[in-house]
Chain A
Amino acid sequence: MTDATAVTGASAEARRPFVSLLAQDDHTKRRNAAEARFKAYGLGAVIIGLFFLVVLFVSIIANGLPAFTRMVVQLDFTLTQEQFDDAESKLLKTGAYQAYFVEGFDKALSERGVEVEYDAAALDRLIGKVGSIMRDFYLANPDKLGEEVVFDLPTSSRVDGYFNGRLKREDVSDSRFLQVTDLDLADELHEAGIIKSDFNWTFITGTDSGVDNPGGAGIGASVIGSFFMMVVVLVLSLPIGVAASIYLEEFAPKNWFTDLIEVNISNLAAVPSIVFGILGLAVFIQFAGLPQSAPLVGGLVLTLMTLPTIIISTRASLKAVPPSIRDAALGVGASKMQSVFHHVLPLAMPGILTGTIIGLAQALGETAPLLLIGMVGFVARGYPDNFLTGFTEANSAMPAQIYTWAARADASFYEKAWGGIIVLLLFLMTMNIIAIILRRRFERRW
C-alpha cells in the first residue's frame, strides 16, 4: 500500500496543473473498481447463501412430495353371500377370491372399453396378493356382502416408482417382481382411470415396515415417539432451566461456584451432540439400566442437550425485566423470593416460552444422540399401547426414522426419507412460527 501511494504521489505531482477535480484519474478509477468488486463479492456471497437455501428446499420438496401420494387400483366390486360361502368352502380359498376379483376386473375393463391382455401373475406383480386382501376384508366386514364396495388397492412400490419417475422403463429387467409388459398394462389401466393417484394416508398414519415393503412404510409411529420424547424434554427442561436461570440471574452471589456453573453451561452449549449420546448410553442405559430405544432415554439425553439453550434464553428475558419492578415489589414488603416469583417471572414468561419452543425445535431435529441409544436398529412396527408405556416401550423418533430409511439399501425408501423430512420440517416450522407469534404478541419493550 505504501509504494502505491508513493507512486501516485509522484505522478500527481507531475500533472497537477491540468487535473480537474471532476475527472477521475487512473488511481481513483482503480480504487472505485476495487470498491465495486468488493461490494459484488459481498452480494455474491449473500446470493450464494440464498441459492443454497433454495436448492435445499427444492430438492426436499421435489424428492419428498411423491411420498405423500401413491398409485392405487380403484375398483367397484360386489361379492354376494353365495360367492362368499362358495369360496370359503374351497381348499384354495384365496385362489377363489382371486378368481372373483379377476372377473370383476374384467368387467371393469370392458365397461371402460379397454382391451388388454394380462395374466393373473401380472396382477400379482401389480397389486400383490389380491385374494388374501379381499378375503381379509370380507371376513372382517361380513355385512358388506352383497353391497358394492370400492376397493383402493395400492400398487407395488416398483409400479409406484414407475409412475412418479423413480423407475425408468429402460432400467426394468424382467424379474419375478416386475416385467416390462406389466408397465404396458399399468399404462393402459392408468389411461382407463383404473389406476389413480391417491393421497397416501399410510405414510402419515402408518408404522415402519420391514426392509422389503417400502410401500407400506409410514412415519406415524415415529411421530408418536418424537412426541413422547418432547413431553419428557418439556417437563424436565422447562422447570429445571427456569429454576437454574432464576438462581443465576437473581440470587447467585459472585463466587467460584457461580463461575463454575456459568463456564459449564457455556461449554455444554458447544459440546458435540454425539458426546451427549455417549453420555446417555453410558449413564442411562449401561449404568441406570433404562430400556434401550425408549423415548424416555431419548428425552433425558435431549433434555441435557437443550438445557443450556433454555437457560441462556431464559436469563436474557429475566435480564430484560427492569429493576424497577423488583424494587417496587420489595418496597411494598414482598420478600426477594416473592418479588421474583410473583412479578419478575410472569413478566419474563413470554420470552422464556419462546426460548423453550426454539430449544424444543432443536431437540426435535437432533439425530446423532438417538443413534447411540439404539433408536436406529429398531423397527417401529407398532404404536404404544397406552400413554405410560409410550415412554418406556422401544420406539423410533422422526429423525431416527428418516436415518433408518436413508440407510436402507432399497432406493424406494429414499422417497420416504425425503417425505419424512417434509413432515419433520413442517413440525419445526410450526414451532418456530408459534415462537415468533408469541414474541410479537407478548414481548414488551420497557
Chain B
Amino acid sequence: MPVHWIVLIVLALAVIGYVMGRQKALASAGGNIRDLHSLPSYYGSSVAIFTMVFSFLVLIVWLIAQPIVIENQVAGSIPPEAVREGSTLGLMMSDVRRVADGLDQAVSQGAMTSEDAASIRSEFTDVRDRLGAIGVALGSDVGPAVLRAAQHYRALNATGNLFMTIVVLGVALAGFGFALMRSHKDFRARNVVETTIRYILIGAASIAILTTIGIVLSLIFNTAEFFRLYAWTDFFFGTTWAPSFSGRGGSSELGFVPLLWGTLYISLIALAVSVPIGLFAAIYLSEYASPRMRSFAKPLIEVLAGIPTIVYGLFALLTVGPLLLSVFGDGGLGWMKAGTAVMTAGLVMGIMLIPFVSSLSDDIINAVPQAMRDGSLGLGATHSETVRQVVLPAALPGIVGAILLAASRAIGETMIVVLGAGAAAKLSLNPFEAMTTVTAKIVSQLTGDSDFASPEALVAFALGMTLFIITLGLNILALYIVRKYREQYE
C-alpha cells in the first residue's frame, strides 16, 4: 500500500477516535460535563493522539530503516567477482537501484507483467533495450548480476512494504483500542494530552540540534570519503586548483590555498569598504543625527540588508564590473582584463555589509551608558573627542564582535562571488584580477552532472567543512565578545 494511503487511513482512524472517545467519556458521566475530570475535547484528543503518534513514529523509523537494511542485504548478495574492473560496489548498487526503478516503471506502464519483471533473465532478453523502449535510460549494459540483484531488491521491497502496512495499521488500531478503553469520566485525559503536547514542543525545539547534526554528519562523511581518495596534505597545502572535468580522477589538482586566498582577499576588500562607512554612519546616526534624520536614514540604509544577494551578484556582474573595467581596464589604466575581479566582488560585498556593520555598531554604541558621555562632555571635551576617546573605547569589544560577524558573513557569501569574482583560482596580489573563493567552487563542483563519488565532486564537501568551521569559529568568537561586552554594562 502506498505511504500516503497509510497516512490517510491513520488520520481517518484518529478522527473517528476523537469522536468516539469524546462520546464515551460523556456517556460515562451521564452527559454531565461537571462529572468529567477534563473537558470532553481532551478525551477525544487523547484517543486521536494514541492512534496517531505511535503509528507515525513506527512509519517514520520504518521508512528510514527499510532502504538501509535492504541495501545491505542486496549488496551482500552480490558476489565480489561480479563487480567489474574499474567499478565499485557503490556504483553497482546505484545501477541496481536504477534497474529496479526501471522495472517498476515498466510494470506500471504495462510494458511488462510483474511476473516478467521478477523472472526476466538478461541472458535471454536485452533488458536495457526493453527498458529504453519505455523511456528508462540505463548507462551501461545490464549484467546478469545487476539484474538479479535488482529483482532481489524489488522482492525485498515488496515484502518490506507489506509488513510496514500491517505493522503501522496494527499499531494505530492498538493505540485506538487502548485509549478508547481508558476513556472514562475519571481518566485524567488533560494530563495525557498536555504531556504529549509538551513532548511535541521539545521535539520541535530539538530540530535545531538535528539540523546541526545533519550538517555536521553530511559534511564529515563525504569529507572522509574525499580524503580517502585524495591526500589531505595535498588539499590543505596544495597551491594549484585545477580539477579535471574529464571524469577520470587522478589528474586533478585540488589545492585549497588559492581558494582561501581569494576568499580572504575579497572579504578584506569588503571589510575595508563596509567597516569605515558602516562605523561612521553608526556614529553619526547615534551621536549626531536629529531624531527625524535618524528615523529616515536608518531604515533606508537597512533596506540594503534586505535585498537578496542575487541582486547584488547581478549588480556586480552587470553594473559595477563594466564600470570598473571602463576606468581600470584597457581603455583606462590597463590593470584590469575583465569585469569579474576581486575588486568588483569585494566592492559590492562591502556595500551589502554596510547595514550589517552599521546597525550592529549602532546598537552597541547606544548601549554605552549616557553617564560616560556626560562625564566627558562635562570635563570640556568636544563631542567628537567624547566619541573617539570615551564612547568608542568603551564600545570597542562590541564593535570588534560586529566586525567579526560581518567577516563571517563575507566569507560565507556565495552569489556575489559566483557572479562577480570570476572562476579562475589564482594566487595573486593584483585586486583587479579574477580570483575565486571557497563558496564559488562549492557551487561549481556540485552543479552539473558530476558523479558524486569522484574526488572532483567530493572536494566540495571538504570545502564546505572548512567553510563551516571557519564561520562557526568566527561566530562563536564574535558572540562571546559581544556577550562579554553586554554584561559589562548591564
At the interface, yes or no: B276 with Cβ under 8 Å from chain A? Answer: yes
Which residues on A sit within 8 Å (CB–CB) of B318?
59, 63, 406, 414, 417-418
Instruction: Write the B257-292 contact mask toward A (1 if CB under 8 angstroms, else 0).
Output: 000000000000000000011111101110111000
Bound-state Cα–Cα, A240 to B310, Å: 28
Which one of A39, A308, A406 lies within 8 Å of B317 (CB-CB)? A406
At the interface, yes or no: B443 with Cβ under 8 Å from chain A? Answer: yes
Binds B, one of A6-14, A90-98, A129-137, A265-273: A265-273
- Max chain B C-beta neighbours (<10 A), residue from A50, A287, A367: A367
Binds A, one of B104-112, B137-145, B296-304, B329-337: B296-304
Instruction: Write the B403-444 contact mask toward A (1 if CB under 8 angstroms, else 0).
Output: 001001101111100110000000000000000000100110
Known: A46-B297, A261-B209, A270-B475. A283 touches B306 (CB 8 A): no
Which residues on A sit within 8 Å (CB–CB) of B172?
none
Instruction: Write the A410-446 contact mask toward B (1 if CB under 8 angstroms, else 0).
Output: 0000100110010011001000100000000000000
Contact, CB under 8 Å: A403 / B313: yes
Bound-state Cα–Cα, A270 to B407, Å: 11
Instruction: Write the A327-338 contact mask toward B (1 if CB under 8 angstroms, else 0).
Output: 000000001110
Instruction: Write the A392-414 contact mask toward B (1 if CB under 8 angstroms, else 0).
Output: 00000001001100110000001
Interface size class of B (residues with CB under 8 A): 35 or more
Contact, CB under 8 Å: A418 / B384: no
At the interface, yes or no: B197 with Cβ under 8 Å from chain A? Answer: yes
Known: A35-B384, A63-B318, A367-B310. A274 touches B209 (CB 8 A): no
Bound-state Cα–Cα, A283 to B190, Å: 38
CB contact list, A68-104 vs B, under 8 A? none
Contact, CB under 8 Å: A371 / B447: yes
Contact, CB under 8 Å: B207 / A307: yes
At the interface, yes or no: B56 with Cβ under 8 Å from chain A? Answer: no
At the interface, yes or no: A299 with Cβ under 8 Å from chain B? Answer: no
Bound-state Cα–Cα, A403 to B419, Å: 8
Which residues on B sit within 8 Å (CB–CB) of A260?
209
Contact, CB under 8 Å: A365 / B309: yes
Binds B, one of A202-210, A242-250, A316-324: A242-250
Instruction: Write the B189-211 contact mask toward A (1 if CB under 8 angstroms, else 0).
Output: 01000100110111111111101
Contact, CB under 8 Å: B198 / A337: yes
CB contact list, B225-280 vs A, under 8 A? 276-280
CB contact list, B34-79 vs A, under 8 A? 67
Bound-state Cα–Cα, A248 to B287, Å: 36
At the interface, yes or no: B28 with Cβ under 8 Å from chain A? Answer: no
Contact, CB under 8 Å: A281 / B446: yes
Known: A275-B464, A432-B306. A406 touches B351 (CB 8 A): no
- Max chain B C-beta neighbours (<10 A), residue from A49, A365, A414: A49
Binds A, one of B5-13, B215-223, B371-379: B215-223
At the interface, yes or no: B400 with Cβ under 8 Å from chain A? Answer: no
Contact, CB under 8 Å: B276 / A251: no
CB contact list, A32-81 vs B, under 8 A? 32, 34-35, 37-39, 41-46, 48-50, 52-53, 55-56, 59-60, 63
Which one of A32, A37, A45, A56 lies within 8 Å of B277 (CB-CB)? A45
Which one of A53, A261, A287, A402 lies within 8 Å of B301 (CB-CB)? A53
At the interface, yes or no: A376 with Cβ under 8 Å from chain B? Answer: yes
Which residues on B sit within 8 Å (CB–CB) of A414?
318
Known: A38-B387, A46-B281, A49-B358. A274 touches B222 (CB 8 A): no
Contact, CB under 8 Å: B475 / A50: no
Query: Closest 10 CB pairs between A and B?
Result: A272-B412, A365-B308, A42-B284, A282-B218, A45-B280, A243-B204, A38-B384, A247-B201, A368-B414, A244-B205
Other contacts beyond A59-B318, A243-B200, A274-B439: 15, CB < 8 A: A38-B388, A39-B288, A41-B280, A45-B278, A49-B281, A49-B355, A239-B204, A243-B203, A273-B414, A311-B208, A368-B414, A368-B443, A402-B310, A424-B308, A424-B311
Query: Can you report 20 residue pairs joining A to B where beta carbons are below 8 Å apart?
Result: A34-B382, A42-B281, A45-B277, A45-B278, A45-B284, A46-B301, A56-B311, A243-B200, A260-B209, A278-B442, A282-B221, A283-B218, A364-B308, A367-B313, A368-B415, A402-B314, A403-B419, A418-B314, A421-B314, A428-B308
